[in-house]
Amino acid sequence: MINVRPSRLIAIAALAALAGLAGTASADTPWQQTHPRREQVNNRLQTQNARIHHQVAEGELSKQQAHRLHAADASVRRQERRMAARDGGHITRRDRKILNRRENRISRRIGK
């Protein structure tokens, strides 16, 4: 059996609940229906934001580390907006792949 701290289980459950809500709400608005790739990128940024806050609360990240991670996420969001502006409000599959790669690197810095 894997030994997991209760606080991590709560965090995992909260993230799973957020992901579930995001999945059910993903087709609620016309914008979300017509911009599914942007919606996926933005949902992932929100999840990473929650993970950063959780890690700070657990004492696993310093406020300075969290600030750098938030700045990196903000950079991804700015890049996503520039890419969308270039393509009539949409991002291409290639754009999403580039953004996901950047988000993966940031995610690894956040930790488990």
Lowest mean pLDDT across 22-26, 29-33, 92-96, 99-103: 22-26
- pLDDT in the model for residue 29: 77
SS3 35: coil
- Asked whether residue 34 is assigned to any structural domain, the reply reads yes
- Asked whether residue 44 is assigned to any structural domain, the reply reads yes
- pLDDT in the model for residue 35: 75
Domain that holds residue 57: 6-110
Q: For the chain, how big is the Rg over CA atoms in Å?
A: 15
- Asked whether residue 102 is assigned to any structural domain, the reply reads yes
- pLDDT in the model for residue 66: 95
User: Is residue 66 within 8 Å of 52, Cβ to Cβ?
Assistant: yes
- Asked whether residue 20 is assigned to any structural domain, the reply reads yes
How many structural domains compose the chain? 1
- Asked whether residue 43 is assigned to any structural domain, the reply reads yes
CA–CA–CA angle 81, 68, 71 (5° rounding): 15
Cα-Cα-Cα-Cα dihedral sign, residues 69, 74, 79, 80 = positive
Model pLDDT for residues 15-59, shown as the tens digit of each residue: 666 665 555 544 577 756 667 888 888 899 999 999 999 999 999
- Asked whether residue 1 is assigned to any structural domain, the reply reads no
- pLDDT in the model for residue 50: 94
- pLDDT in the model for residue 81: 92
